[in-house]
Amino acid sequence: MEIEQFERRVLMSGNITLKIVRDQLRIIGDAEPNSFKIRAPSGAQGIDYSILTITGYDTTTIDEKPFISVVVDSQSPFWVSSISVNLGSGNDSALIAGEFGPYGLTVDLGDGDDSLSLEREWFTAVDVYGGDGNDKINVEGCNVDRTMQIFPGGGRDRTTLYATYIDRKLLIDDSGTSATIKLDTVNTKKKTEIITGNAADRVSISNCYLYQLSAL
């Protein structure tokens, strides 16, 4: 038992802590490079639709376990209407493809070379902060009822949106340092702002309908 505890302490990929505060699920990383994914069961229907599984990978644990399932059914006392993710320092990696929305999402990747992928999700609103470090932020096949805001922070960041529909405003503010931003098949219904600042940036937009686009 003592040996097991010692081994746990020297793992390099840390532990993620889950908390439910009122109707918010909080996913909190540590200073190590944390990796996790959130998924609903594949092809899930009915009651299974409301069970989210948060799985650690690359030896990251979730509350010291390989994975945790959370019931998010509106009939359950553990109903959540928003998820916040705060991964701290280290090169963190998160995949969110729960397919159970809509819910609000706030992600703070913290410092480090981080990677975030949002796939086939339905959100009420999304805020993403990349912090220092070279981050990869990928949004694919998502619907956002309100506003999506992405702040990749310092570093050579890459933000990609593909096949995504935003019912109000889109803001991508990567004004700090060199930015790569790619939008393909993205629709917005309200103001669209892309801010890249003065560094050497690369912006590509194809097959999009972007309402009131301003690029600075």
Binding interface with Ca ion (CB under 5 A): 29, 34, 87-88, 90, 92, 130, 133, 135, 152-153, 155, 157
Closer Cβ to Ca ion, 121 or 157, answer by number: 157
Beta carbon of residue 50, minimum distance to Ca ion (angstroms, whole number)? 28
- Residue (of 161, 186, 165, 185) closest to 174 by Cα position: 161
Closer Cβ to Ca ion, 101 or 133, answer by number: 133
Closer Cβ to Ca ion, 40 or 62, answer by number: 62
Beta carbon of residue 191, minimum distance to Ca ion (angstroms, whole number)? 24
Beta carbon of residue 109, minimum distance to Ca ion (angstroms, whole number)? 8
Beta carbon of residue 92, minimum distance to Ca ion (angstroms, whole number)? 5
Closer Cβ to Ca ion, 34 or 178, answer by number: 34
Which token pair is 66? 């390989």
Following DSSP, what letter does each residue of 46-73 receive, concatenated? GGGGGEEEEEE-TT-EETTBSEEEEE--
Task: Say if CB 10 and CB 30 are below 8 A apart.
Answer: no
**Cα distance between the two ends of the chain:** 58
Which token pair is 146? 């309100």
